[in-house]
Structure 1
């Protein structure tokens, strides 16, 4: 049954495989906080046999409408609320290779942009073969970062996506 605010089904409402069908699949979650330090949404991660499924749900009023860059970052912290620089650079950083369209890349943390609706909410699902959940859950962890603007998938180092406006520690 769709969420009445945005018409999209919630993670709990989505059908999944029968229990035991994919017994080796790891899962993780992230509570996403905005620049004010309050929770604005969630991210869920499912490690499949050929890559990583990522689903993000943002509450109404969370972010400005339009396209936003979204990346996986190499350190699992959001402690510096409002700037989120402590999460480090992109997961799997390759100097000069940022971007899904970059012939030298992409980096493991590169993802397609997320679209935020007029009411500030978003529903997002992306699949990536560039990383696996066990590498995101390494010793220093990883974070999901949403930027203030669209990623052009080429410009170095972050596709022109601007400041970090939301962060979630992947656990």
Structure 2
């Protein structure tokens, strides 16, 4: 080979090496399957995607009673109890009262209401500020549980919003 014929080969090698050093990962996302608690039929999936300053929450569920359902992140990533009480209370690292997301006072784990249609299916897509999947701060939700409740959240009753029994639970675990 002549030096002139090595030039394209050398250039291609340098470009390939440079491309291997470029980060190609997209946003961090965690898919959480939800399983029914004892005596319930609610199942589905929640996807948490980290964005700058918060997390996008996308939920799809079935097997719910028609109407509103409280929807929260709970403090412990443990769904082992038949009624999911092992997940503890709402995730609340700042000690705020329970309230509606987007209002100044609410638990970090307070999420918007899930509303099931007549067939028992619910979808939700929302952005929650202050939560994280990667930071070491007090907004990190990895290792916690996401819970769907039987009743609507009134966003005022302390500390739970009077949302009733836990009908589905899933653990937010890193992939």
Could you say which TM-score interval applies, normalised by the shorter chain? 0.7 to 0.9
- Equivalent pair of 1:31/1:39 in contact (CA under 8 Å): no
SS in 1 for 2:86: helix
Task: Give the TM-score, by structure 2 length.
Answer: 0.74
- Equivalent pair of 2:74/2:89 in contact (CA under 8 Å): yes
Correspondences of 1:111-122 after superposition (within 5 Å): 111-122=111-122
- Equivalent pair of 1:96/1:157 in contact (CA under 8 Å): no
The aligned counterpart of 2:137 is none
Shift of 1:35: 2.1
SS in 1 for 2:119: coil
Correspondences of 1:52-91 after superposition (within 5 Å): 52-59=55-62, 62-81=63-82, 83-91=83-91
- After the TM superposition, which of the residue ranges 90-99 and 104-113 deviates more from structure 2? 90-99
The aligned counterpart of 1:28 is 30
- Equivalent pair of 2:154/2:162 in contact (CA under 8 Å): yes
Correspondences of 1:118-157 after superposition (within 5 Å): 118-134=118-134, 135-137=140-142, 141-157=143-159
Shift of 1:39: 7.2
Instruction: List 4+ stretches of structure 1 deviating above 4 A.
Output: 20-24, 93-96, 101-104
Task: Give the TM-score, by structure 1 length.
Answer: 0.76
Correspondences of 1:151-166 after superposition (within 5 Å): 151-166=153-168
- Equivalent pair of 1:96/1:156 in contact (CA under 8 Å): no
Query: Which structure has more helix as a fraction of its residues?
Result: 2
In 2: Cα distance, 1:136 partner to 1:52 partner: 10
List per-residue Cα deviations over 1:33-68 (Å, max 9, x = no partner).
Answer: 112477711111100012100111113xx1101000
Aligned length: 146
The aligned counterpart of 2:98 is 98
In 1: Cα distance, 2:23 partner to 2:127 partner: 19
Which sections of structure 2, spanning at least 5 residues, go unmatched?
Answer: 1-21, 135-139
Query: Bigger radius of gyration, 1 or 2?
Result: 2
SS in 2 for 1:112: coil
Residue 21 to residue 161, structure 1, CA distance change in 2 (3 Å): farther
